A = this chain, B = another copy of it.
Amino acid sequence: MARVIKERADTIAQLAATFRTYGFNGASLSVISESTSLGKGSLYNFFPGGKDEMAEAVLDEVSDWFRLHINEPLAAAGNPAARIEAMFTSCEEYFSSHQLVCLFGAFALSHEQKRFEAQIFRYFDDWAAALTTALQDGGWPRQEANALALDIIAGIQGALVIARARHNPCTLNALLMRLRLTIAFESRAPFPTESRTLS
């Protein structure tokens, strides 16, 4: 019999895909076992903590990806507008090729928010901090940049909800395009008047 020996890291991408498709509760061990081509024994060998540890590992992997491809580029040196544009592009590519699901967003809306609260909080917090940095580098005052960063991240998450609801990947591109233009438009007035600040 042809046995294939795997490592823990090899399974995480498939685990992530399974959680994205079925959710945490819907991804039963038998479903996971089939999608990873791994028996329960192997799964518990890699993840002694069971499903919780699998989900944690997946969230960590996603966090790492975002830190590397989104947050660090956002906070790095270079043209601020280009950095932000790169964020939008990367997000489009990432979510389009990952079932239009942000696991952190999906978990935040579900009962798993309780179990993974700290990781979820940190994911959005890190993202917001990096985007705030880029916006500040682009000339926005600290407080306004902070609020605008949250607006944009919320806009991206909302775009994913609507794109999924419509079962139409183009919706994501369209909504993100308009999100981009919102910044470009607002940034034409480098010093926002108080009428646009949060009371």
Number of identical monomers bound together in the oligomeric complex: 2
Q: A185–B196 contact, CB under 8 A?
A: yes
Main secondary structure of the interface of A (DSSP, over half): helix
A:108-127 near B, CB below 8 Å: 108-111, 113, 117, 120-121, 123-124
Report if A51 contacts B (CB, 8 A).
no
* Residues of chain B with a CB closer than 8 A to A196's CB: 181, 185
Contact code string A146-171 (vs B, CB < 8 Å = 1, else 0): 01001101111111111011110001
What residues of chain A have their CB less than 8 Å away from a CB belonging to chain B? 21-23, 25-26, 101, 104-106, 108-111, 113, 117, 120-121, 123-124, 147, 150-151, 153-162, 164-167, 171, 174-175, 177-179, 181-182, 185-186, 195-196, 198-199
